[in-house]
Every structure is written in C-alpha cells, then in structure tokens.
Chains A and B, each alone.
Chain A
Amino acid sequence: MTELLKISHTMTLAWRYGASWYFAEFIRALRDEQRLLGLRCPICRRVYLPPRPVCGNCHAELREWVEVKDSGTVRAFTIVHTPIIDPTTGQPRPTPYGMALIQLDGADTTLNHYLAENDPAKLQIGMRVQAVWRAERKGTLNDIAHFASISPIAERDAQAASSQASSSKLQSPISNLHSPISNPQSLFITAGVNLSFNYAAGKAASRFLIALRDEKKIFGARCPSCQRVLVPARSFCPRCFVDTSDWVEVGPNGTLGAFAATDNLAFALIRLDGADTALVHRVNVTNADELRIGLRVAPVFAETRRGHILDLAYFQPA
C-alpha cells in the first residue's frame, strides 16, 4: 500500500471587526460603568441583548437604549464536562463548569454565560443569579467572570440598597440613553486565529511527492481521453473527468511560460520537457531581469526532503 501523505498548513490570520455604534456604546457602558445596555424594539418592545441594528422579527431599526440589570433568572443550564478551546485564551477551559441561558432583569433575550456552580443538583431552571464582575474590566463579556446564585433574602436586601442609590444613579451621564446614537464613536476589535490543518494528498499526489522525496523525479500522469500529460501528476483529468492512466517521468528541465516576481519570491509556470501542462513553482534568479518567457530552467532539490511540493526547492536558469 502506498504511503499516504498529509500536507500541513498553519493559519495565522487576524481581522479587524467593526463594532459599530451599538456595540461601541454597549462596550463603553460595560467597561467604564459596569452597566449592561440593551436596545428596545419600537414595535414588539422586546429588549435585545446583544445590541444590534435591527429587530429581526419586526424589521424595525433599534435606537432606544434600555438599562438591563446584572441579575437574572436561569432559563436553561448545563454542566460542561468536555474541554473546549476557549477562543479568548487558546487554552482548554478547565472542566467541569456550569453554563446557563440567563434572562437578565429588563431583557427579553437570554444571555449565554458561565455559572459559578458546577453541581447539577444545585441548579434549577428559574433560579436567580447575579453577575460576578472581574476587578479589571476590558470591555468584553468576560468582564463578568460568571454568574452566582443569589438567595431571595440577599436579593431583597440588595434591591433595597440599590433603590436608595438610584437617585444618584439617575444623575450619571449614562442614564439619558434614549437619544438614537448617544455616542457615535465607533470602534473595531482585532482578533485572530492560529490554527493547524492537515490535508490528505490522496494516493496520486502522495505518489508524486514521494517520487520527489525519494528519487528526485518529477512525474506527470496521462489523461487517456485528451491525452494530455498532466503535471504534477494527479488521479483524474479535470477536463475529461476520467482517471489518469500511465505515469510519465517529465523534465527535469523545462521552459518558462509565465512568471511573477513579488517582493521576496518569484513564481513561474514551467512547461517541463514531455509535459502538456505547466508546473507552477518558484524560480530563483540573481536578477529579476533574467526572467523571460522561453527561459530554460532546471530544478534544484532541497537537501532534506519530506514528501512536499517544496522538496523541489525551486528552478533556476539551466
């Protein structure tokens, strides 16, 4: 049985995600004032968290800010036992941990968040929970570490205390939030990934790459229908949709058909001797002016080869 190769790639990409006015405002209130804001639909009156530009049920624009409390009622819960990668840390989150859909007081949607409790026997739908905030807030939902259960008595006491403080609260600059865009300053958040992928080369490409690795030979495969010798070799002809038949050693030298010199690499389409299609590969010349269509080139193989298209390091003028 043929050795089957996999080709690895690592994706390191980052994006700048626009937050728009609604998220900018939400994040500002969360970070600077430890307050949660929702947007109320002018038609169905539902208060939405997370904030968004439109109520999907009513097709109405959302502009009215409403303060939502950081306490709420558990509508659904689970204890997660299987570690998942926490995208904020890139590390598995220690298990077990509780999660819940929490309807915050004043909101009509639920919030998906962590629970302090991880014993299912101590959890039930309908229980009351309160946000436990982190000492330092950065402007993400993670500023709330988790939600902890609160006893009805403790909650009543807390409500009494908060109603006493409510007059001073109303004077804070955030309280008048009913203007359409109270803070038009928008922001974006940069977030990225660092992920690995392993792609199966399949039997034909494995055979081609192993020939590069072990024999420093370049093979094409013939299409029995159009008779083209396809290089690099592959299992089927993309034009004729039939399996390729015999394998043909091609090159090693060839002729440049097109080239592209970028900042640090030069690419070329190289018609290897005996091939009917061109090989896409790198070329290495001391001076980019040497590159011209019709240039004869020869392959240079890498010292250490691993079954990879870059076992053939590059082509250079023959």
Chain B
Amino acid sequence: MQPITILGVGRTDYAPKPGVSIPEMVHVATQAALADAELTMQDVDARVTASVDLWDGLTASNIAITEVVGAVMQPEARVAGDGLLAACHGAMSILAGAYNVVLVVAHCKGSMGDSAAISNWTFDPIYQQPLGLDDAAAAALQASAFSLPPPLERPPADGAAAVILARASETDLSGFRRPERSLALNQIVNRLNPQLIGMGWALDEHYLGDRDLTDAPALRDAARRAFSMAKLNDPKRELAWAEISEHFDYQRVLWARALGLADFSNLNLSGGLARGVPPFVAGLDRLIEIVLRLREKPGTALAHGCWGPCGQGQAVVIADSAIVRSCDSAIVR
C-alpha cells in the first residue's frame, strides 16, 4: 500500500466538561491538529468524523460539528463507531485518489448521559437487551471467563481528538487543485512525519454466548490484515511500541495476546486509557500517542481501538517514522 502521511494531531484534555458544547469541544481538537500540521481549514479536502448518536443525545450528531470541522460545502463522511475506524476510512479515501488531505475527528461526551443505560441499547433487542445487559456487565462476564473479578468502571470523560492524513508522494500532490497550495503542502509533507502503513478492522459475533470470550478473533483478524499490509512478519520484534484500547483493565492481556504481543514490554507507555479517555475517541487517541512518540524516536508502532460489547468491533493501525522524500524519491528510514 502507498503510505499515508500523518501531518498533524490534536486533542482536548479528557475530563467531564459539563458546560462545554460538542462543537466547541471539537473545535479545540481540530484547531490543535491544523496548527500542528501547519495547515488551515482551506487545505483540507474532506473529513471523516466518528461519533455515536445515542451517546451524544442527538440525531445524526455530526450535524452539530459541520461548521467546526469545515464541512460546509465540502465532503464529510461520518463513521458511527470508534475514531480509529474513521482514520482507516480516511486513509482508504486517500488511497482511492478521492482526496489528498483528510481531517479525521472523533468526539464523545461520556459524562453527558448514563453510559450503562445507553450501552444497553447496543445489545440485540430480542434476546440480550431485555435481560438488562450493559457494557459493564458484559465486561464482567468476560473477566469472569479469566477467573477475574468484575472490572472497575472508569469515571466518564469528555473529549475530542483529530488527526490529519495526507497523500505522501509528490506525484500525487501535483494533482492538487491549487498549485500554490501544492507547493506549500509539499514542504509540509516532507517534514519528519510518521506514516500510516497498515490497517485492518473486523467485527466479532454479536451474541455473547456465541463467542469464546477468552479469545478475540476479530482483533486477530484485524491485526493480521494490518501486519500483512505493513509487511511485518514478526510484530513483537519489529514493533517499537503499541498503544491499545483497554477500556477495562483485564482487556490489556486479552488484546495483547490477540495481537501477538503477549509480554511485550512497550505496551501503553502513555498510561493507556486508565486516565479516562471517552469511548469512540479512544482509538484515535491511541494513534495520536504513537504519532507523538514516532516524531521523537524512529520505529514502527501500533495503535488499537475497539468498541461494542466485549470489544465486538476491532481496529488496528500501523504507523512508521519512515519518510518518503518526494523531491528525490529516496526513501529514508
């Protein structure tokens, strides 16, 4: 796959923000990402946003953020799921040749409502929802399969995260609509920016009783796709770091094992999600963590996101500090 350059990242702090509106919260994250990339909103071709209506208490909740993500008279796709999935889709649309610069945004205000009561509405309404299941109860079931006590729930947090993706090579940049912009972008793209070199995502079965809760086949599948795309044969040795979405403590071991990273020492050096990261923002936040680290130290790193009951949905992104020098075509690692 053609590498995708990660031009900029931005995020809010993660804490309850009762008096802050969704658009204002998202505005902070998008402006931070644009500043980090040294771009303006006019440089962005398209947006992929991630949010889930019932958590936001809004129908088609991306309506609330159209203006702050710069989508007025512009393309936007909204993925109803985790932000890392939105990043994958944004990368796909660049690979497709549809856009050159894509702003990826995820937002959630976990403190707005009763997350447990809301998550009950993710279970099928015939067989599981009537029992009163919610995400915490499902997690407790999964923990018990490892003979662990019910995991602690983390305090709700609010926040937004934004990542700017761009086409990496000069040839492709020549296709920009405005020549002056293509020149400026060329310089920016050629900075030491990490690149997205692999991705994968997959869904597990829904009915909890169908699944072996001690395993995560969807994550193994997503990781297999991402590793193969990134041409990693021995991820445990080739990866410098990994940032995974352990929404509950017990998931750390489970996800690491499914990723082939059991006993991997450089896992969640950032501290993981324990400090409180909102759902659906978590995966994109993991990507931001590895991007910031890759800017400091060369290497290859993994970001992981998951969503739904017991991590039914799984996504994996591989990023690398390698840069493509588009001027002389030399690939510098």
CB proximity to B under 8 Å, residues A244-268? 257-262, 265, 267-268
Q: Does A20 contact B (CB under 8 A)?
A: yes
Are B127 and A258 touching (Cβ within 8 A)?
no
Are A262 and B136 touching (Cβ within 8 A)?
yes
Q: Does A174 contact B (CB under 8 A)?
A: no
A109 to B134, CA, bound (A): 43
A38 to B147, CA, bound (A): 59
- Contact A269:B150 (CB < 8 A) given known A56-B66, A188-B18, A293-B144: no
Q: Does B2 contact A (CB under 8 A)?
A: no
Are A265 and B67 touching (Cβ within 8 A)?
no
- Chain A residues near B150 (CB-CB < 8 A): 260-262
Which of B6-14, B107-115, B162-170 participates in binding chain A? B107-115
Are A310 and B23 touching (Cβ within 8 A)?
no
A261 to B130, CA, bound (A): 17
Are B137 and A17 touching (Cβ within 8 A)?
no
Q: Which residue of chain B is the closest to A308 with respect to CB atoms?
A: B130
- Chain A residues near B19 (CB-CB < 8 A): 18-20, 24, 185-188
- In the complex, per-residue mask of B34-46: 1 if CB is within 8 Å of any chain A CB, else 0: 0000001110000
Q: Does A66 contact B (CB under 8 A)?
A: no
Q: Which residue of chain B is the closest to A228 with respect to CB atoms?
A: B210
Contact of A59 among B18, B54, B70, B112 (CB under 8 A): B70
Are B144 and A9 touching (Cβ within 8 A)?
no
- Chain B residues near A278 (CB-CB < 8 A): 208-210
CB proximity to B under 8 Å, residues A2-38? 7, 9, 11, 13-24
- Chain B residues near A259 (CB-CB < 8 A): 141, 144
Q: Does B117 contact A (CB under 8 A)?
A: yes
Q: In the assembled complex, how far is the CB of residue B127 from the closest CB belonging to chain A, in whole angstroms?
A: 5
Q: Does B325 contact A (CB under 8 A)?
A: no
Q: Which residue of chain A is the closest to B209 with respect to CB atoms?
A: A278
Q: Does B22 contact A (CB under 8 A)?
A: yes
Are B213 and A16 touching (Cβ within 8 A)?
no
- Chain A residues near B125 (CB-CB < 8 A): 7, 9, 197, 199
Contact of B208 among A57, A185, A262, A269 (CB under 8 A): A269
Q: Does B121 contact A (CB under 8 A)?
A: yes
Q: Does B89 contact A (CB under 8 A)?
A: no
Are B109 and A18 touching (Cβ within 8 A)?
yes
Q: Does A68 contact B (CB under 8 A)?
A: no
Are B42 and A13 touching (Cβ within 8 A)?
no
Q: Does B205 contact A (CB under 8 A)?
A: yes
Among B57, B138, B144, B205, residue most surrounded by chain A Cβ atoms (within 10 Å): B144
A238 to B208, CA, bound (A): 12
Are B42 and A15 touching (Cβ within 8 A)?
no
Tally of A interface residues using CB under 8 Å: 59
Are B18 and A309 touching (Cβ within 8 A)?
no
- Contact A54:B206 (CB < 8 A) given known A259-B144, A280-B131: no
Q: Does A205 contact B (CB under 8 A)?
A: yes
Q: Does A85 contact B (CB under 8 A)?
A: no
Are B21 and A277 touching (Cβ within 8 A)?
no
- Contact A281:B137 (CB < 8 A) given known A13-B118, A54-B67, A261-B150: no
Contact of A269 among B40, B54, B117, B213 (CB under 8 A): B213
Contact of A265 among B68, B132, B147, B206 (CB under 8 A): B132
- In the complex, per-residue mask of B124-160: 1 if CB is within 8 Å of any chain A CB, else 0: 0111111111001111111111010010000000000
Q: Does A55 contact B (CB under 8 A)?
A: yes
Q: In the assembled complex, how far is the CB of residue B314 from the closest CB belonging to chain A, in whole angstroms?
A: 16
Are B140 and A18 touching (Cβ within 8 A)?
no
Q: Does A221 contact B (CB under 8 A)?
A: no
Are A59 and B142 touching (Cβ within 8 A)?
no
Contact of B21 among A23, A56, A205 (CB under 8 A): A23
Q: Does B224 contact A (CB under 8 A)?
A: no
Are B112 and A280 touching (Cβ within 8 A)?
no
A257 to B118, CA, bound (A): 26
A277 to B211, CA, bound (A): 8
Q: Which residue of chain A is the closest to B109 with respect to CB atoms?
A: A18
Contact of A258 among B41, B121, B213 (CB under 8 A): B213
Are B18 and A53 touching (Cβ within 8 A)?
no
Are B144 and A260 touching (Cβ within 8 A)?
yes
CB proximity to A under 8 Å, residues B65-118? 66-68, 70-73, 109, 111-114, 117-118
CB proximity to B under 8 Å, residues A30-60? 52-57, 59
Are B130 and A310 touching (Cβ within 8 A)?
yes
- Contact A59:B114 (CB < 8 A) given known A259-B144, A262-B136, A277-B209: no
Are A261 and B140 touching (Cβ within 8 A)?
yes
Q: Does A239 contact B (CB under 8 A)?
A: yes
- Chain A residues near B129 (CB-CB < 8 A): 9
Are B213 and A52 touching (Cβ within 8 A)?
no
Q: Give the 6 A-B residue pairs with the shortest CB-CB distance, closest first.
A: A186-B19, A260-B140, A15-B57, A56-B67, A278-B209, A56-B72
- Which of A's residues lie within 8 Å of B, judged by CB? 7, 9, 11, 13-24, 52-57, 59, 185-188, 191, 197, 199, 201-202, 205, 209, 230-232, 238-239, 257-262, 265, 267-270, 277-282, 293, 308-310
Given known contacts A53-B27, A270-B209, what 19 new A-B pairs fall within 8 Å (CB)? A7-B125, A11-B121, A13-B113, A20-B19, A20-B24, A55-B67, A56-B66, A56-B70, A57-B72, A59-B41, A59-B42, A191-B57, A205-B126, A257-B145, A258-B213, A260-B137, A269-B213, A308-B130, A310-B130
Supply 6 A–B pairs (Cβ within 8 Å), ascending by A.
Answer: A18-B25, A202-B126, A261-B140, A269-B141, A280-B208, A293-B144
